Structure formats: structure tokens, C-alpha cells
Chains A and B, each alone.
Chain A
Amino acid sequence: GACRVSMSMAEIRAGFTAIKADIQSRDPIRTLSILSHPHSLHKLKSSDRCCITHQLFTFYVDKVFKHCRTEDSFVNRKISSIANSFLSARRKLSQCHEQNNCMCGEESREKFKQILANYEGLNVTSAAMKSLGELDILLDWMEKS
């Protein structure tokens, strides 16, 4: 089903771009991606977009942002600003989900299971930092529609 949620992608992008080099430099693991391997988000059917977006927002709010504190207050401020944007977007998507407009197909459930498996393959801090460093993968996919 379809949901229309307004959120400032440009603001989130700007926030992430400002800390991208810092965050990605904290992730030394080249051989594993949380979001894009083995299956790319770009291969998902469009009917599953809404559900996987809702699941990913929940994933970032519940499992990523809270484990990404750094010793750099500038970076922390940017992270919390991005987190707030995700929080409000997730709230709107949840309302949509409750109105059965954002149903999950088999493919998105499988994809999300893979993402969680990738995440749980690392310790929490490494997994959270890697996930945050992959935010542009999520944003690129969201903007592609």
C-alpha cells in the first residue's frame, strides 16, 4: 500500500554529509554491509517500499542512533538531529501502518530479516556505527523512486 510521509531529505542529507567521513572512518570492516548485501534495497518490489521503509526507520530509531554516541559533540548533535527526523517520520509511517496502508510482503520480511542478521553479526557498537555510516545507502534508495 502507499503512504505519503513528508520529511526533509535535504536536511538529513546535509546532516549526514557533515559527519560521513568521521562515521565511516570508525567502521573498518569493508567486507560486510548491513543494508546492501547480499541483497540490494534497489532490487525490492515497489509494493514493498512502504513496509521496508517503516521497518528501517524503526531499526534506526530503536537499534542504531542510541548506540552511536561519540566523543565529538558536533557529530553527536548531527546524529541527534537526524534521529529526530527519523523519529517523526517513523511516527507518521506507524499511523499509516495501523491503517493497513503499509503492508509487508514476503520479500520485505525476508530483506529485513537479512538486515537484522547482518546487524547481529557484529557487536552492538560496531553494528550501530556501520549502520549509521550506511545512511546514504538508505537515502539514495529512498530518493530513487
Chain B
Amino acid sequence: SGELYCSLPNPRNVHFESINMKNVLHWSAPEGTGDGVLYKVKYAVYGIGKWIRKPECRNINRTWCDLSSETSDYEEQYYASVKAFLNGTCSDWMETTRFNPLTDTKIDPPMVSVSSTDRSISIILTAPEKWKRSPEEESISLLQVYPGLKYNVSVLNKKTKKRWFFSISNNTLVVPWLEPGTAYCVSAQIHVTTPLLDSAFSKEHCITTLKDK
């Protein structure tokens, strides 16, 4: 295309930020350029020659571009690239490193639901879903993507401050032999051994065991 000699400084720190395989390309504006910089974005599947332009991210002034749809096949790996334009001049294309959605994504904590009897609490955990294009699209749990996915569960006795940790593979846990009428707080984390991926711990879910009958 008829671009002028590219003397504009380059976009910086071009990289993917990925959570549950929602893969968004981010970058920083070229050094020393104020407002008015526009960008365009392209991406490529590693091993296939073609760079593909992303029309929705053409002549944009924001510094991110959602490429989740284009990078949704996690059996492939990808590159993406950004070019800046200002006052008729442009920068070079600046590329990401090779992006592997399977290993380079971050995972949200699991959803936690808790119920109790007088002497036990029951915990049900739900792994987050992989990003999907629309609500109508079939949901894929990250459990399907990472067969070795486990849960680390923390249970805290609010009265004694005693804490237990459990590591479980299935998504339910019953903690027996508890004290009646006592508040317990539960928090859980997802742990994938290989590739090594750990979510943050969920926020605490507190519940009080029933009083003694």
C-alpha cells in the first residue's frame, strides 16, 4: 500500500493478555507521540504463511484489539502485529512473541457454592468456561480443555482461625466433624499441573453450621 517512509516510533510492548482464552492484543503508544495516533492490526497462524488483517481494528485510536475469535483454536499458535500512523507517516510493524492459547492464558478462580448441616459443610466448585463468541455458542468448561485440572480448597474456622487445605480432582467436597453453630469460610483455586497454570483463590464464602439439635 502507498505508505510513506515509516519514521514514526514503533508501538511498544505488543503482547497478548488472555483470561480463560479471551485473547486480547495490547500495546503501548509509540514514545513521544501525543493524541491522534491510529493503529492497524494483523495476525497470523504459526506455520501458515498469511498475515490476516483485522478489519475491526483498522484505524483505531485505542491500544487494544480483541482477537479471541481469530485465536480460538487452542491447538494452533499465533503471532499478531501492530502498526501506528500519525500525520501521514507510520511506524514499523511490531510483533508479539509466539502466542500459545493453551499455555499462555490465565484462568479465573472457580465458582464456589457452600451449604451446611450441623457438623459438616458441602462445597461445590465450578470451573470457568472457555471464552465463546456468543451466549448461544456451546459452552466448553476449562475442565475439558485441561484434563488434569484440580482444585485447591481452603477452609477456615473463623472462631479458632484453624485452616485446612484440600486438593481434589472432582468438584465436590464434604468437610465432616465440624463444630455446630460455627462460621467457616471457604476459598478455592484452580491448579493445572501441566502446563503449569494456577488461578487466584476465589473470594471467601462463609457459612455457619447449624446449631446442635
Contact = CB atoms under 8 A, between A and B. Distances in A.
B74 to A, nearest CB: 8
A13 to B, nearest CB: 5
A23 to B, nearest CB: 10
A14 B47 CA distance: 24
Q: Is the interface of A mostly helix, strand, loop or mixed?
A: helix
Contacts of A17: 103, 195-196
B196 A139 contact: no
Interface in B102-144: 102-103
A140 B98 CA distance: 15
Interface in A99-145: 133, 136-137, 139-140, 143-144
B76 interface: yes
Size range of the interface on A?
20 to 34
Contacts, number: 56
A37 interface: yes
Contacts of A36: 46-47, 75-77
A24 B97 contact: yes
Contacts of A32: 47
Interface residues of B, number: 20
A44 to B, nearest CB: 12
B47 A10 contact: no
A126 to B, nearest CB: 15
A10 B194 contact: yes
A69 interface: no
B102 A140 contact: yes
Contact of B47 (A9, A37, A136, A139): A37
Contacts of A40: 75-76
Given A13-B196, A40-B75, A143-B148, 16 more contacts: A9-B193, A10-B193, A14-B196, A30-B44, A30-B49, A31-B48, A32-B47, A33-B47, A36-B76, A37-B48, A40-B76, A133-B98, A137-B77, A140-B103, A143-B147, A143-B195
